């Protein structure tokens, strides 16, 4: 058996329990640090339809743009830098590129450009970088990080010109690219969009009603078991199995209760942290109303192949690529926050 398959992949799980009423709670900072989110799942116990205010927030998530075969040197365009990057809150990510095989690009709202490159591309580009922390072969991958807002990267300067020449004349790096600007920065992106084939997209919202759902006791259930159960619910995998079942041995942790009806709501796309934060605030308002159950769970998944996760920490994929957080909110404003990563990632801050 292969050594890779013979070992259980390493994973990391960080847990935090506090209250939204505590000024030092870390929810807002954690939401902001996961820049690139592709899916949010909300589980509403004892609920059969999306509450109107919650539905309104979900359907008002920011739209995003898909630019096909964008030359990456266009991100250094002087007008784009002045009207978008320097203003803050621009999010950009290469689309359908694999972090363990392809060249991947990310642009963060603080104006940092990240390039995760294979060895040949890095050498052709000819700028400073460092070996990836997650090389599974000796120095086969390199990471380049550039602060586009730094004075040394001002258009016309030596560092700027070196990077521009490398991307335009030597590497010729092109990729499908996701781009978004908060709040409503479509107008500032139009000059860039107009030069290429692009399309605008809105996040897709879907819901699914669950009946007679077995739920663990949240006070006694350990974090790993809770997340395993929550993942099974999100993936529509039954936990009503016998331990001898060949297909699945997943069972709801004991002790457990049965929820007569529950609603799972999912939104997918390029989801901005600001919109996720608004959703959290609306869930808190929802929990203030008297109802049978006094909790709601929300799970936010980062893009598997993003070059970075948790701020500007390097993200690596070889087996799974998980980088997500799950927030369990209660009616008394307390919460439990679970932050998880897979085998090739740094510990969440």
pLDDT digits (tens, 9 = 90+) for 17-33: 999 999 999 999 999 99
3-state secondary structure of 189: helix
Query: What average pLDDT does the segment 295-324 reach?
Result: 86
69: left (phi over 0), alpha (psi -120 to 50) or beta: left
Q: Provide the pLDDT for residue 292.
A: 60
Would you list the domain boundaries of the chain?
3-61+203-341, 64-201
Q: 226-230, 281-285, 288-292, 320-324 — which one is most confidently predicted on average?
A: 281-285
CA distance 10 to 216: 25
Query: What average pLDDT does the segment 286-313 reach?
Result: 88
pLDDT of 284 strictly over 80: yes
pLDDT of 144 strictly over 70: yes
**Do 46 and 271 form a contact (C-beta atoms < 8 A)?**
no
**Do 116 and 102 form a contact (C-beta atoms < 8 A)?**
no
The pLDDT tens digits for 228-265 are 899 989 988 777 766 566 666 677 888 888 999 999 99
CA distance 279 to 54: 7
pLDDT of 16 strictly over 50: yes
Average model confidence (pLDDT) across the chain:
89
Q: 8-12, 163-167, 224-228 — which one is most confidently predicted on average?
A: 163-167
**Do 283 and 31 form a contact (C-beta atoms < 8 A)?**
no
**Do 30 and 271 form a contact (C-beta atoms < 8 A)?**
no
Residue bearing the bigger pLDDT, 342 or 80? 80
Closest residue by Cα to residue 25 from 333, 346, 341: 333
pLDDT of 9 strictly over 60: no
pTM: 0.91
What's the count of helices (H) and strands (E) in the chain, helices before strands? 9, 17
pLDDT of 2 strictly over 50: no
pLDDT of 340 strictly over 60: yes
């Amino acid at each position: 058996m292969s050594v890779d398959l013979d070992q259980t992949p390493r994973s990391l799980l960080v847990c935090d329990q506090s209250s939204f009423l505590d000024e030092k709670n870390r929810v807002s900072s954690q939401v902001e640090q996961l820049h690139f989110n592709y899916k949010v799942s909300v589980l509403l116990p004892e609920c059969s339809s999306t509450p109107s205010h919650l539905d309104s927030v979900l359907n008002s998530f920011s739209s995003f743009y898909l630019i096909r075969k964008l030359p990456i040197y266009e991100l250094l365009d002087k007008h784009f830098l002045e009207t978008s990057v320097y203003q803050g809150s621009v999010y950009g990510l290469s689309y359908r590129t694999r972090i363990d095989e392809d060249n991947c690009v990310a642009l963060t709202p603080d104006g940092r450009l990240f390039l995760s490159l294979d060895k040949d591309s890095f050498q052709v580009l000819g700028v400073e970088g460092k070996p990836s922390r997650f090389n599974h072969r000796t120095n086969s991958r390199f990471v380049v990080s550039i602060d586009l807002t730094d004075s040394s990267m001002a258009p016309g300067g030596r560092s700027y010109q070196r990077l521009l020449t490398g991307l335009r004349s030597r590497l010729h790096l092109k990729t499908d690219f996701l781009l978004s600007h908060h709040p409503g920065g479509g107008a500032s992106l139009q000059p860039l969009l107009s030069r290429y084939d692009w399309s605008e997209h809105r996040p897709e919202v879907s819901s699914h009603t669950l009946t007679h759902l077995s739920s663990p006791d949240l006070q006694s259930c350990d974090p790993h078991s809770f997340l395993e159960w929550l993942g099974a619910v999100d993936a529509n995998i039954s936990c009503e199995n016998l331990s001898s079942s060949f297909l699945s041995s997943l069972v709801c942790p004991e002790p457990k209760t049965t929820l007569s009806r529950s609603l799972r709501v999912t939104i997918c796309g390029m989801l901005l942290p600001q919109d996720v934060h608004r959703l959290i605030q609306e869930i808190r308002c929802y929990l203030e109303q008297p109802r049978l159950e006094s909790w709601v769970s929300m799970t936010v998944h980062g893009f598997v192949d993003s070059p970075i996760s948790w701020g500007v920490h390097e993200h690596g994929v070889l087996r799974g690529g998980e980088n997500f957080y799950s927030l369990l909110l209660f009616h008394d404003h307390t919460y439990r926050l679970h932050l998880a990563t897979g085998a090739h990632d740094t510990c969440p801050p």
